[in-house]
Amino acid sequence: MGDRRIGIAVDFSAGSRTALQWAIDNVVRKGDHLILVTIRPEGHYEQTEVLLWEATGSPLIPLSELCDPNIMKKYATKPDSDTLDIVNLAATQKEVVVLMKIYWGDPREKLCEAVDNIPLDYLVIGNRGLGKLKRAIMGSVSNYVVNHSTCPVTVVKHA
């Protein structure tokens, strides 16, 4: 059965929801741990919890706390209702454990760090669909992660 740690890079955008749904439909199976990995930008946060976990990332946050806006406020994160609906449905229908881990910093580096620190068996990441010019200027998070991750990575394109 399951017991794998499947990571999903989530920024609460339409693209990350597409990747999340794809992973649930195609990868996740009963008993797996579905770990939502979200990266917040570096900045000046007033919450003491954020200051405490800025270097190592938050502790693993269970689904019950993920759905509580007051608890998420102390992590400076606000999950959208569509993402919460998707993971709640997966938790009950697929019988998976849903957790979240929050990092602060550069998404490229922090996603690769998450793979090693959690550790993850598999990572699914969305793609913003940047054109060649924007990708050359801004860089591609998904391209970097595919080339530097120590676990298998699937990039899901948003239509």
Distance separating alpha carbons of residues 38 and 101, to the nearest angstrom: 6
Choose the most confident range, by mean pLDDT, from 35-44, 48-57, 68-77, 104-113.
104-113
* Overall pTM surpassing 0.95 (yes/no): no
Grade residue 119 by pLDDT with cuts at 50, 70 and 90: very high
Residue 41 DSSP one-character state: P
pLDDT reading at 124 higher than 60? yes
pLDDT of residue 55: 75
Percentage above 90 pLDDT, the chain = 63
Grade residue 133 by pLDDT with cuts at 50, 70 and 90: low
- In one-letter notation, the amino acid at residue 56 is T
pLDDT reading at 44 higher than 90? no
Higher pLDDT, 74 or 39: 39
> How would you class 137 by CB atoms within 10 Å of its CB: exposed for 0-12, middle for 13-18, buried for 19 or more?
exposed
- Give all strands of the β-sheet with 97-104 in edge-to-edge order: 61-62, 97-104, 33-40, 5-9, 122-127, 153-157
CA dihedral over 38, 49, 109, 30, signed as positive or negative: negative
SS3 content of the chain, % helix, strand, coil (to 5): 45, 20, 35
> Closest by alpha carbon to 10, among 110, 96, 95?
110
pLDDT of residue 138: 45
Residue 105 DSSP one-character state: S
Distances (CA, A) of 153 to 10, 42, 110, 142: 14, 25, 15, 9
> Closest by alpha carbon to 96, among 27, 151, 154, 153?
27
- Measured from the Cβ of residue 9, the count of other Cβ atoms closer than 10 Å reads 26
Domains of the chain: 5-157 (3.40.50.620)
pLDDT reading at 96 higher than 50? yes
pLDDT of residue 43: 67
pLDDT tens digits for range 60-93: 999 999 999 998 888 888 999 999 999 999 999 9
Strands (E), the chain: 5-9, 33-40, 61-62, 97-104, 122-127, 153-157
